[in-house]
Amino acid sequence: MKHIDTVHLELKEHMCEDCGKSFGQKSNLHRHISLVHKKNKDHRCEECDKSYGQKSILMRHIDSVHLKLKNYECEECGKFFGYKSDLIKHISTVHLELKEHKCRECGQSFAHTSHLTRHIDAIHLKSKDHECEECGKFFSDKSYLTKHIDTVHLELKEHMCEECGKSFGDKSNLRRHIAVAHEKIKEHKCGECGKFFSNKSYLMTHIDTVHLELKEHKCEECGRSFGHKNNLMRHIDSVHLKLKNHECNECGRSFIKKIELHTHIATIHEKIKDYQCGECEKFFGYKSNLMKHIDLVHLKLKEHKCVECQKSFSTKSILNKHISSVHE
């Protein structure tokens, strides 16, 4: 992680006060000071009497400290910075959301060690009753055990990089991959849509799959083609094999997609209802149920029309009951 942060992500926290240059390690900063600044400093600042070994460094000092000139602009939010190192640090923590301190228990990542420690104390420092039968590791929560099994033992990787098609089991790992592999100078521009890519091969893949619609991975069952092999495999599993690999430990019901299992657990077993009606404040486990509730109760939509008498009903079941009792 230290190598990735300092070399590839350019996270350099040790800044030289003389010239603003930053370093990943304190020892490199000391070496820089001794080689560059520990010599005759003939260029003195008239504002604060601070001296520098080079005129260019003096001018940079005047611009950023006394004139408050901030020449480094963030393309994401338009914020300006006096030093390039501050801009890089801002992009890394704010826009890329690089959270290098990962919890081994649940996989959640944090930007600072103190935040990770606080999380562990509050969430995980309690009895761990849920044991993984594969490796014997214990977890404090059943959902953490399920996530551990999915990503470690079943190697389910649902988070795919749109740039190169590589998949990851954890969203934080996908973000780290994007930051290391793709968040650099993107010189290869697509002539069709103007999108930039860091590698020519990624550009060619993009053109083939998006603009030329070249989808080389063909399903032998139905003939449908896909641009990436992992999309083909996901299609075969869910459509043709009807594989339901995600089993609920509570009731034994299986699901094709992991997100379907999580939704099932949250709404059925944990009774989590996140969708609230703005009209009457009633909660629902599924968004579709909330929309149905709004249509039927508040908008009073009656879409099911009787062909015999033109009377409308809010649900199909009520319409069928009407037909059987009145028209049959």
Per-residue confidence at 155, pLDDT binned at 50, 70, 90? low
Per-residue confidence at 6, pLDDT binned at 50, 70, 90? very low
The domain made up of 286-327 is a member of CATH 3.30.160.60:
yes
List the one residue out of 217, 187, 216 whose CA is nearest residue 202.
187
State the DSSP string of 106-137: T--EESSHHHHHHHIIIIISS---EE-TTT--
User: Which neighbouring-strand residues pair with 305?
Assistant: 312
| % of the chain with per-residue pLDDT over 90 | 0
Cα 182 from Cα 205, distance rounded (Å): 14
CB contact at 8 A, 262 and 250: no
pLDDT in tens, 27-58: 778 777 776 666 667 778 877 878 777 777 77
Q: pLDDT value at position 53?
A: 73
Q: What is the mean pLDDT of residues 180-186?
A: 64
Q: What is the mean pLDDT of residues 161-172?
A: 72
Asked if the model's pLDDT at residue 309 lies above 80, the reply is yes
Candidate from 153-157, 216-220, 247-251, 271-275 with smallest mean pLDDT: 153-157
Q: pLDDT value at position 134?
A: 65
- Where along the chain do its domains lie? 2-95, 286-327
| Mean of the per-residue pLDDT values of the chain | 71
Cα 88 from Cα 74, distance rounded (Å): 9
Go through 145-157 and write b for each residue having 16 or more CB atoms within 10 A of its CB, e for each that does not: bbbbbbbeeeeeb
Q: pLDDT value at position 4?
A: 43
Q: What does DSSP assign to residue 105? A: T
Cα 162 from Cα 37, distance rounded (Å): 45
Asked if the model's pLDDT at residue 9 lies above 60, the reply is no
Residue written as tokens 């009951």? Answer: 321
Residue written as tokens 């939010």? Answer: 77
Q: pLDDT value at position 127?
A: 59
Q: pLDDT value at position 2?
A: 45
- Residue 121 vs residue 8, higher pLDDT: 121
Cα 176 from Cα 199, distance rounded (Å): 17
CATH (one of 1.10.760.10, 3.30.160.60, 3.40.50.2020, 3.90.1150.10) for 2-95: 3.30.160.60
CB contact at 8 A, 96 and 179: yes
- Residues in contact with 108: Cβ distance below 8 Å, sequence separation at least 6, in sequence order: 102, 119, 172
Cα 277 from Cα 286, distance rounded (Å): 11
Angle (CA) 270-272-273 rounded to 5° is 155
Per-residue confidence at 136, pLDDT binned at 50, 70, 90? confident
Asked if the model's pLDDT at residue 95 lies above 70, the reply is no
Cα 88 from Cα 70, distance rounded (Å): 14
Cα 15 from Cα 293, distance rounded (Å): 58
Candidate from 40-44, 70-74, 95-99, 295-299 with smallest mean pLDDT: 95-99
Alpha helices for 154-218 (secondary structure H): 171-177, 200-206
Q: What does DSSP assign to residue 150? A: I
Q: pLDDT value at position 186?
A: 63
Cα 231 from Cα 285, distance rounded (Å): 29
- Residues in contact with 140: Cβ distance below 8 Å, sequence separation at least 6, in sequence order: 105, 123, 124, 126, 127, 128, 129, 130
Q: pLDDT value at position 5?
A: 44
Three-state secondary-structure class, residue 32: helix
State the DSSP string of 137-152: -EESSHHHHHHHIIII
- Residue 137 vs residue 7, higher pLDDT: 137
Hey, do 2-95 and 286-327 end up sharing a CATH topology, with the first three levels equal? yes
pLDDT in tens, 243-296: 666 777 777 777 767 777 777 777 676 666 667 777 777 777 667 777 777 777
Asked if the model's pLDDT at residue 307 lies above 80, the reply is yes
Measured CA to CA in angstroms, residue 25 lies from 7, 10, 11 at distances of 11, 11, 10
